[in-house]
Amino acid sequence: MGVAQAIRAAGLDRFYRRREATDGITRVEPAAADSFAISADSAEAAGLILHVGGDLRETSLLIEGIHCGACVWLIETYLARRPGVVQATVNLATHRARVRWDARRATLADVLRAIASIGYRAHPYDSLRREMQMRREWRALLARTALALLAMMQVMMFALPGYTSTDGVDPEHRALLDWASLALTMPVVFYCAAPFFAGAWRDLRLGKLGMDVPVALGVGGAFVASAWSTLESGGPVYYDSVTMFVALLSVARLFELHARRRAGAAIEAIARDVPEVAERLIDPADTSKTERVAARQLCPGDRIRVAAGAPIAADGTVVDGRSSVEEAMLTGESWPRARMAGDRVLAGSLNRESPLIVRVDAVGEGTAAAGLARMIERAANARPRIALLADRVAGNFVAALLAIAAATAIVWSCVDPSRVLTVTLAVLVVSCPCALSLATPATLAAAAGAAARRRIFTVRSNAWESLARVTHVVFDKTGTLTKGQLSLASVDLLAGHDRSRCVAIAAALESGSMHPIADALQREMAEARQRPMAETLHEQSGAPIVPKSAIVLCDGIVAVPGSGVEATVDGRVHRFGRPEWVGALHREAMPAPARAMSADAISVALADDDGWIAWFAFSDAVRPGAAELVAQLRGMHIGVSLSSGDRAETVAHVAQTIGITDFRGDAQPSAKLEHVASLQRQGAVVAMVGDGINDAPSLAGADVSLSFGTASTLAQWTADVVLVNDDLRGVAQSIAGARRTLRVIRQNLAWAFAYNLVAIPLAASGQLTPLAAALGMSLSSLFVVANALRLAR
């Protein structure tokens, strides 16, 4: 039996209908309306629709065809006006929409249909389709760009005789060249430039003038004028300008898509930070039998088992077990916190030491992590309105241009009716806002390319503008200015013990633990093994390469969560952990160094039953280059402040170390966001640098946000700029780069406006020779691109 028959026999032949309805079609026909109901059904079946209280439903949609902030605004406002739709938010960077609707008054199919009716395609979100859509978009754009570039080169060759010959090309040869150019330009206009025409058509249907309108008008006008000249009149041709314009714009879009794809790979799933699978106890009384269930199937009151080293799937209360839980992603607190029966734990935090039984209190939308996600969306939505401005300017320009063209046509129909068409087309062609519409994208593409070589990726193309105007940078501490992991800061030895021996004992005691202190000791051991090798060898030839002191055998390791570890080493009981608990082993008074520890360090004692052996101080080390960065930013007249969820004294210590005077600790995510907002109210343009989930709301609320390649996916998802190589210097580099970029954009815009100011009156008065029009158009575009390329060096 064939696959097709099997599918049919199982009553699943709607698979074919669905496949036809959703694959590879670029236009949405009314006839395909049935497909909306089908894809809505399959989304329901796949569990992609969330029930959020009462009759409210919510889902994520992936939207194809979004180009700019205007598209986002359009979809949001259009959907919000549909009956039954409660809320719709669209993210420009990820092309995802979150839609919430009332199931009594609307269905998902209605929502999909509404989006299709304004010219976009929406799919219920799943990451596989996102991947496929990205790939399709990339391939199509790459093919279009390559073809346009090829055609551009060849058409330039054909145009060259016209520019270089002094006495004109003889008419026969010229006709041949024109026909050849026409043959090459046709695929460029109909295939390569198709997205611009589609965008312009959508804009016009909705009664607004976007950036695609002048592009389509210029390309279409120049092509029609040239084709008409070739077929009928033998007038001027502009094929070279058409192909060059399309090719350069395509290249700019290609760069933009490439940057977004690279950054987007890391940005994918917000949900990944909260695990998808949980181990539920089948019988609440029996902790040994569990079943694996999807996290969203959990209900309040269920009991789940969380293994050591596993993330917690839901907000809840610990019923059994003791462990330490790392909540750094949610709260910014860098040390794991002890959790025992009766304590609350949060979804997305990491259980470090031993298994816990947790009673589920809230799942899905009710968790603290989901609350953060909502806060981010609200903050992010307040922003991309800036993107609309550029579009409005272009709209006004096009409106003015059309008015001038119309006026020219009217005036010339009185003066000399035979020249109306030529002169009007000359106006349209010469003013074709090539330079104007190339000015920004070409510069942004060049800047993005230069930044990418320094491993700085701009996720949103309008990030540069905000970045250049930044007057204040707010840093997070953990993971941003500091490494976000503990390292051994110092060891205080008592009673003539050997340092490396003490470290080795401590490492051996902690060897079975998942605690960050254990990681820090392991790293210290690894470094120590490389360092003293020379000394050891030189003490006695033929000696073992590993120093004897490094070999520690211990047995009977007992971990006491929240306190420390106990084990027998060389026949003596040793304890390593919290000083009070360690001191209980031998009941000696605490030695002096214990009190002299600095505020930011976490101090851990090592002792055997005879007395204290050593005190270890662990701290979160400041990243290299942090102090230089702060000084550099000051030099650029940029204010710097530090806002962290960590303990106030730790934050103060770090701030002093690197020279930040404005700092606050114990800041909740909402307090961080408020800090950013209050700076903005004072007129500052704020850049936020952070890496954790707890930073995400302020990252979204800041004018521009930077994050690191190692940051949590949620932080990257909300960031405008991702510094992939984790180098703090990238912050100052990207701001300096953005300032340069904005300067070049201004130069380009000034040039384009000046060119139009001179060329349009000349064309309107019928003074412009074909050669001058073509040359002026090409040169103005070339100037803009060359100026932009200065950034790429």
Edge-to-edge strands, sheet with 662-664: 456-458, 721-723, 704-708, 686-689, 472-475, 639-643, 662-664
If one asks whether residue 520 binds other proteins (CB under 8 A), the answer comes out as: no
Cβ at position 166, least distance to other proteins in Å: 17
Cβ closer to other proteins: 151 or 505? 151
Cβ at position 272, least distance to other proteins in Å: 22
DSSP calls for 401-452 = HHHHHHHHHHHHHHH-GGGHHHHHHHHHHHH-THHHHHHHHHHHHHHHHHHH
- Contact status, residue 246 vs residue 222, Cβ threshold 8 Å: no
- What kind and span of H or E run contains 613? strand 611-622
If one asks whether residue 371 binds other proteins (CB under 8 A), the answer comes out as: no
Which of 760, 741, 720 is CA-nearest to residue 259? 720
Among 52, 150, 420, 452, binds other proteins (CB under 8 A): 150
Cβ at position 132, least distance to other proteins in Å: 11
Rounded distance between C-alpha atoms, residue 106 and residue 104, angstroms: 6
Among 37, 142, 271, 792, binds other proteins (CB under 8 A): 142
Among 14, 139, 205, 790, binds other proteins (CB under 8 A): 139
Q: Which residues in 664-693 contact other proteins (CB under 8 A)?
A: none
Among 7, 33, 37, 157, binds other proteins (CB under 8 A): 157
If one asks whether residue 156 binds other proteins (CB under 8 A), the answer comes out as: no
Cβ at position 161, least distance to other proteins in Å: 10
Cβ at position 262, least distance to other proteins in Å: 8
**Does 476 participate in catalysis according to the annotation?**
yes
Cβ closer to other proteins: 160 or 758? 160
Span interacting with other proteins, options 146-154, 193-201, 312-320, 400-408, rule CB under 8 A: 146-154
Cβ at position 129, least distance to other proteins in Å: 16
If one asks whether residue 572 binds other proteins (CB under 8 A), the answer comes out as: no
Cβ closer to other proteins: 223 or 755? 223
> In 510-645, which ranges are continuous DSSP H helix?
516-530, 533-539, 579-583, 626-635
If one asks whether residue 533 binds other proteins (CB under 8 A), the answer comes out as: no
Cβ closer to other proteins: 145 or 644? 145
Cβ closer to other proteins: 138 or 581? 138
Which residue is associated with the tokens 């992609």? 48
Q: Which residues in 97-136 contact other proteins (CB under 8 A)?
A: 135
- Contact status, residue 92 vs residue 63, Cβ threshold 8 Å: no
If one asks whether residue 449 binds other proteins (CB under 8 A), the answer comes out as: no
Among 138, 751, 753, 783, binds other proteins (CB under 8 A): 138
Cβ at position 314, least distance to other proteins in Å: 37
Q: Which residues in 175-194 contact other proteins (CB under 8 A)?
A: 176-177, 180, 183-184, 187
Cα–Cα distances in Å, from 94 out to 134, 178, 260, 261?
A: 11, 44, 9, 10
Cβ at position 135, least distance to other proteins in Å: 6
Cβ closer to other proteins: 144 or 675? 144
- What kind and span of H or E run contains 174? helix 171-187
- Contact status, residue 474 vs residue 687, Cβ threshold 8 Å: yes
Rounded distance between C-alpha atoms, residue 396 and residue 223, angstroms: 24
- Contact status, residue 90 vs residue 72, Cβ threshold 8 Å: yes
Cβ closer to other proteins: 98 or 174? 174
Rounded distance between C-alpha atoms, residue 601 and residue 190, angstroms: 66
Among 151, 360, 432, 773, binds other proteins (CB under 8 A): 151
Cβ at position 140, least distance to other proteins in Å: 8
Cβ closer to other proteins: 51 or 136? 136
Span interacting with other proteins, options 143-151, 368-376, 394-402, 419-427, rule CB under 8 A: 143-151
Count of residues that bind other proteins according to CB under 8 A: 20
Site string (213-252) toward other proteins, x via CB under 8 A: ----------------------------------------
If one asks whether residue 733 binds other proteins (CB under 8 A), the answer comes out as: no
Rounded distance between C-alpha atoms, residue 148 and residue 247, angstroms: 5
- Contact status, residue 695 vs residue 475, Cβ threshold 8 Å: no
Rounded distance between C-alpha atoms, residue 469 and residue 653, angstroms: 30
Q: Which residues in 256-295 contact other proteins (CB under 8 A)?
A: 258
Cβ closer to other proteins: 181 or 440? 181
If one asks whether residue 709 binds other proteins (CB under 8 A), the answer comes out as: no
Rounded distance between C-alpha atoms, residue 589 and residue 103, angstroms: 68
If one asks whether residue 494 binds other proteins (CB under 8 A), the answer comes out as: no
- Contact status, residue 484 vs residue 328, Cβ threshold 8 Å: yes
How many CA atoms lie less than 13 Å away from 705 in the CB half-sphere? 30
**Crossing angle between the packed helical segments 171-187 and 239-267, to the nearest 10 degrees:** 20
- Contact status, residue 268 vs residue 127, Cβ threshold 8 Å: yes
Cβ at position 195, least distance to other proteins in Å: 16
Cβ closer to other proteins: 142 or 569? 142
What's the count of helices (H) and strands (E) in the chain, helices before strands? Answer: 27, 27
Convert 701-713 to b/e letters by CB count within 10 Å (16 or more is b): bbbbbbbbbbbbb
Cβ at position 170, least distance to other proteins in Å: 9
- Contact status, residue 784 vs residue 442, Cβ threshold 8 Å: yes
Among 14, 173, 378, 572, binds other proteins (CB under 8 A): 173
Cβ closer to other proteins: 35 or 145? 145
If one asks whether residue 158 binds other proteins (CB under 8 A), the answer comes out as: yes
Cβ closer to other proteins: 183 or 194? 183
Cα–Cα distances in Å, from 712 out to 97, 267, 273, 311, 380?
A: 21, 9, 8, 14, 17
Q: What is the rounded end-to-end Cα distance, in angstroms, of the chain?
A: 62
* Catalytic residue (one of 203, 240, 476, 720): 476
Cβ at position 70, least distance to other proteins in Å: 29
Residue 304's beta-bridge partner residues? 280, 358
If one asks whether residue 514 binds other proteins (CB under 8 A), the answer comes out as: no
**Hey, which residues are catalytic here?**
476
Using CB under 8 A, list all residues that contact other proteins. Answer: 135, 138-139, 142-143, 146-147, 150-151, 154, 157-158, 173, 176-177, 180, 183-184, 187, 258
